[in-house]
Amino acid sequence: MADTLLTEQAWPELLGINNWEGLLDPLNLDLRKIILRCGDFCQATYDAFNNDQNSKYCGSSRYGKSSFFNKVMLENAAVFKVSSFLYATARVSLPEAFLLHSQSHESWDRESNWIGYIAVTTDDVSKTLGRREIYVAWRGTTRNYEWINVLGADLESAKPLLSSTTLTEISHDNKNGSSSSDSDDDNDKLPKVMRGWLTIYTSNDPKSSFTKSSARTQVLTKIKELLDQYKNEKVSVIHVGHSLGASLSVLSAFDMVENGVKDVPVAAFVFGCPQVGNKAFNERFKKYPNLKVLHIRNEIDLITHYPGRLLGYVNTGIELVIDNRKSPSLKDSKNPSDWHNLQAMLHVVAGWNGK
């Protein structure tokens, strides 16, 4: 496997320890391989998701954990194993672009959807590499664009994700006069994120055996378990996602480091990511040297500009800007959904050598 050729010095660079300086233009070959692998992990969430509303298993994964990577025909499937599935629900009604529900009276679950998985390199591969790679893959939307005008773009306090230390710092700053308001709505020093992302990430359903714990609790609990299990190994955690999944990847990567994972490299490789939070969220994000985001963005993709600066949002992470129009193999589409298509982006990345 090509990764066995990477030195221990190269791996931190590829995960962004120096913000991918010198690796993006032209695109470093090893970084290209990692980006394509992360894209394949994202595609696996789409390929495995059962979106047939006539099926009683609509909203679940078509495949079990043990056969997952073989079934989705992942390249080098034997290198990885699925450690855990992730499930989500929502406290409020969401459009079906997010959560699909079976019309069958025998539905596996009325309120929950499978929304991703956690995978690790196998023992043999990890021994060969000299490190243990953990991947958190979040599923994106199955129906592009219809969610934009339905979900709403309100910023909401990120307090549910903030550590007690951070909350104390913010309170101290407010008392010292750096913010003139006690209201979360008016406090521009408080990290805020889009309400829709936060709702999906933090909602739970006591009636469901799959989402008694929120997606947030599921991922944090499992990652803690894996970090304990592999505490004597060199471990890195990589979050991946496209579209909605990209936003959840940014949230979960931040959440993990904000709440205690300070000595392990945590990176997010995201594709077509909508904006996640405000300036204060970004500033908090940047405080952590082990936390990095690489956003692979198609230059003409409209989704990546949503919800927008006028509503208080800013971009998160380092960008690798590609352009679908540069590929001679892709049709010149006028359909905005095509500009946001994951497979089209991966096709361009595979041959990308800069502008």
Instruction: List active site positions.
Output: 243, 301, 340
Q: Locate tokens 């791996």: which residue?
A: 11
Q: Are strands 291-298 and 113-121 parallel, antiparallel or unpaired?
A: unpaired
Helix (H, G, I), strand (E, B) or coil at 134: strand
Helix (H, G, I), strand (E, B) or coil at 182: coil
**CA geometry: angle 286, 288, 294, nearest 5 deg:** 60
Task: Provide the 10 A C-beta neighbour count for residue 228.
Answer: 8
Paired tokens of 53: 């509303």
**CA geometry: angle 187, 217, 289, nearest 5 deg:** 60
Amino acid symbol at 183? S
Going from the C-alpha of 80 to that of each of 3, 63, 67, 77, 182, the distances in angstroms are 13, 15, 11, 6, 48
Judged on CB neighbours under 10 Å (0-12, 13-18, 19+), 47 is middle
Residues whose CB is less than 8 angstroms from the CB of residue 331 and which lie 6 or more positions away in sequence, other chains included: none
Sign of CA dihedral 190, 195, 200, 206: positive
Paired tokens of 215: 């997606």
Sign of CA dihedral 180, 182, 188, 191: positive
Name the DSSP letter for residue 66.
T
